Structure 1
Amino acid sequence: MSTPPDEALRTRISELEARVGRLEEEGERAERREDSERTPPDPGPEQTGHTPAETAESETAAIGPASPDPARQADDDDPYWVLAGLEDRYPDDDVVLYGGTMSTDGGGYRWQYGLPTQTVLDGDFADAAPALSALAHPVRLALLQAVLTGTHATADLAALPGLGTSGQVYHHLNQLSSAGWLRSPRRGRWEVPGERTIPLLALVMAATT
């Protein structure tokens, strides 16, 4: 009995993805050997988290090294201390704001971004579909979590349990990269862009609380 065309095509795609995954792993192993033979370079601005970010309409978005500031500690008596500060700055406007900090081995991130509420409402919500769709898969979310917590090599990501074949993992990594949630500064290595780190954590927190 002949194989249906659609099934044959899916089989062929799966084989190609697996082959690409194997090639990627071989490239990563070769790159590791090269890295072990040379002295690592000094960390640049991207690694230390000092890269400047864009400015939003109503708030400044910034990336920099995370450092505690005692003068900015929350008032324990006011559970809405963030909103109080927002209202002090924009007493006549409705504003949507998110922010946060994250420490890393190379420094850290401090990020906040805000827009007038009406600006958000006037935009086309459908424009968010590509970025949100890329997150709508448990394997992709697991990959992002692994990258954020220190697993960066393709081979190491493909070796994590429960994520499918190396070809499938490679496919998911490319989908996340196309949507801007991941980038590959060099072959076989992945990272979440600094300007997407806090937004990603904010989205996950909003979806799970």
Structure 2
Amino acid sequence: MSELADRLAALEARVAALEASSSAAPTPEPSAAPPSTGGAVGYSGDVHLAGDVSWTISYSPDGVLDLPPERSVEVLAALGHPVRFAIVRALLRGPLSATALQESLDSTSAGRLYHHLKALTGARIVDQQARGDYRLAPRTVVPALVLMLASADIAGELR
């Protein structure tokens, strides 16, 4: 996919997210709904690593709490392994072949590498461009960096 197509896809995803967050949901019965917490939580980024990517998203705290957990847990589990985390860090700098990834990870065998890549592609974090060539989809660059930053913050690494 060309850089222009990647940027268009990222823009379309942003518009869809904005439309989804601003569409009026049916109002539940007053007695059945917990009080709204109000406020907003979000993140944004303007990243120039292996290409230019801009991303902004914002949700209400209630909206975040109402998101189905299954896919989110899959993403967090995929990033929760040190080798997978290292793969994502390497791919944030740009696309790499499986051979280059294996070399950058030192002691990981080809079989283990493909096992980890399968988990990352299944969680839609990593895209396979061509046979043996991998990259982060533009739509995942800023969220991946935010997850890395947020986890470092929770771990106390930023203080």
TM-score normalised to the size of structure 1? Answer: 0.57
CA contact (8 A) 1:152 1:191 kept: yes
Q: How does 1:59-70 map to 2 (within 5 A)?
A: none
1:174 corresponds in structure 2 to 118
- Quick one: which amino acid aligns to residue 206 of structure 1? A
CA contact (8 A) 1:163 1:169 kept: no
CA contact (8 A) 1:139 1:163 kept: no
- SS state at 1:94 partner: coil
Q: How does 1:36-55 map to 2 (within 5 A)?
A: 43-46=2-5, 49-51=7-9, 52-54=11-13, 55=16
CA distance in 2, matches of 1:182, 1:158: 15
Q: How does 1:98-109 map to 2 (within 5 A)?
A: 98-105=43-50, 107-109=51-53
CA distance in 1, matches of 2:72, 2:105: 31
> How many equivalent pairs are there?
134
Q: 1:140 to 1:185 in 2, by over 3 A?
A: same
2:147 corresponds in structure 1 to 203
1:119 corresponds in structure 2 to 63
Q: How does 1:117-196 map to 2 (within 5 A)?
A: 117-150=61-94, 152-196=96-140
Q: Where do 5+ consecutive residues of structure 2 fail to align?
A: 23-36, 154-159
Say which one has the larger Rg: 1
Q: CA deviation at 1:198?
A: 0.4
CA distance in 1, matches of 2:3, 2:89: 24
CA contact (8 A) 2:49 2:94 kept: no
- Quick one: which amino acid aligns to residue 100 of structure 1? G
**1:97 equivalent in alignment to 2:56:** no
Q: 1:44 to 1:97 in 2, by over 3 A?
A: closer
CA distance in 1, matches of 2:126, 2:71: 19
- Quick one: which amino acid aligns to residue 124 of structure 2? G
- SS state at 1:159 partner: helix
1:18 corresponds in structure 2 to none
Q: Which has the higher strand share?
A: 2
Q: CA deviation at 1:124?
A: 3.7
Higher deviation after alignment, 50-59 or 182-191:
50-59
* CA deviations over 1:143-202 (Å, ceiling 9, x no partner): 111111135111111112444111111111111001101011211110111111100100
CA distance in 2, matches of 1:46, 1:113: 20
CA RMSD after TM alignment: 2.4
Report percent identity of matched pairs: 26
Q: Where do 5+ consecutive residues of structure 1 fail to align?
A: 1-41, 60-91
CA distance in 2, matches of 1:183, 1:190: 6
